[in-house]
Amino acid sequence: MSSLMNDVLVFQQTTNFVRNDFAIMDDQGRQVGHVETGGSTLGRMLVGSRELTVFEGPERPVIRVKDTYSFGRERMEILDAGGGHLASLVKRLALFKTRIALDLQGEELELTGDIWGFEFQVNGQGGAMAWVSREWSGVGNAFFGKSTYVLRLAEHLTAPQRLAIIGAVLSLDLIREKQKRNS
Task: Report the distance separating Cα 171 and Cα 99, nearest Å.
Answer: 13
Q: What domains can be seen in the chain, in order of their start residue? A: 3-182 (2.40.160.200)
Question: What is the band of 14 on the pLDDT scale with cuts at 50, 70, 90?
Answer: confident
User: How confident is the model over 107-119, as a mean pLDDT?
Assistant: 84
User: How confident is the model over 65-75, as a mean pLDDT?
Assistant: 77
Residue 109: per-residue pLDDT: 96
| Among candidate residues 37, 68, 22, 50, the one with its CA nearest the CA of residue 181 | 50
Give the range among 36-40, 100-104, 164-168, 178-182 with minimum mean pLDDT: 178-182
User: How confident is the model over 88-117, as a mean pLDDT?
Assistant: 85
For 141, residues 6+ apart whose C-beta sits below 8 A from its C-beta are 147, 148
Instruction: Indicate the residue type of 157.
Output: L
> Is the pLDDT reported for residue 11 higher than 80?
yes
Residue 139: per-residue pLDDT: 57
Q: Taken in order 44, 57, 141, 154, is the CA torsion positive or negative? A: positive
- Could you report the per-residue pLDDT of 19-51, keeping only the tens digit for each? 678 899 999 999 999 998 875 444 434 444 578
The DSSP secondary-structure symbol of 93 reads P
Instruction: Indicate the residue type of 74.
Output: E
| Among candidate residues 107, 113, 111, 104, the one with its CA nearest the CA of residue 125 | 107
Stronger pLDDT, 42 or 126, i.e. the higher one? 126
